[in-house]
Each structure stands twice: as C-alpha cells, then as structure tokens.
C-alpha cells in the first residue's frame, strides 16, 4: 500500500472514529444529565438528539476534508503560478482563502446544529 492510500485510509478511519465518539458522547451526556433531573426522559434520549450530534460531526468532517482537498489542489497551482509571475499573488491568495472559508462554514453549521441538541 503506497503512502497516499495509507494516509487516506487513516483519515477515513479517524473520521469514522470521530463520528462514533461524538454520537455516543452526546447520548451519554444526555443520559447522565437526564438521570439527575426527573423529567421526560424520552425527549432527551430521542433519535433527534443523536442525529443532531452525528450531523454536527459530519458537517465538520466533510467540510474540512473538502477544504483540504481544495487547498491541496489550488495551493499547488497557486505556487506554480507564483513562480512564473509574482504579480498573481493576490489572486492566488484569494483562491486559497476561499478554500479555507469552506472549513469555517462547516464549523459554523456544526455549532448551529450543536446548539439545537435538547438539554434538560
């Protein structure tokens, strides 16, 4: 197995691990908090809470992976363009910054989803 495939495999395994950790930690936190207070247990242990946690993890993971692939592609092209013409620095910087903004948008969506998780 070459280095590139091994790297992508490790990233995929890490992503799956991250999704499971977030999913089970959200359910664990909700269960622990609900056990402390007598209230309607079904609402806090619903599938909605789990799906919101899973969606937040997927939003961050997918956005960061997409941003990383975009920056990898655009960054190498920008460096190649800068070696030929130094006047194209701003254009190259702008395109790389737009790729980085994709990760920030995923983080914002994940935070918005995280705040919608029901808490007692």
Which residues 6+ apart lie within 8 Å of 105 measured at CB?
Answer: 63
The answer to whether 15 and 61 are in contact (CB under 8 A) is yes
Return the pLDDT at 120: 61
The answer to whether 24 and 53 are in contact (CB under 8 A) is no
**What pTM does this model have?**
0.58
Return the pLDDT at 70: 87
Return the pLDDT at 37: 56
pLDDT tens-digit profile of 106-116? 889 888 888 88
Exposed, middle or buried by CB within 10 Å (0-12, 13-18, 19+), for 39? exposed
From 19-28, 31-40, 62-71, the region with the lowest mean pLDDT: 31-40
Domain ranges of the chain: 3-115
């Amino acid at each position: 197995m070459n280095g590139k495939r091994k790297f992508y495999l490790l990233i995929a395994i890490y992503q799956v691990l991250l999704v499971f950790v977030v999913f089970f930690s959200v359910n664990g936190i909700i269960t622990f908090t609900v056990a402390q207070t007598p209230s309607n247990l079904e609402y806090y242990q619903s599938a909605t809470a789990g799906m919101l946690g899973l969606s937040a993890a997927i939003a961050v993971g997918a956005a960061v992976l997409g941003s990383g692939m975009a920056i990898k592609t655009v960054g190498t092209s920008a460096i190649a363009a800068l070696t030929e013409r130094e006047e194209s620095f701003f254009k190259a910087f702008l395109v790389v910054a737009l790729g980085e903004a994709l990760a920030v948008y995923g983080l914002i969506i994940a935070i918005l989803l995280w705040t919608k998780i029901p808490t007692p």
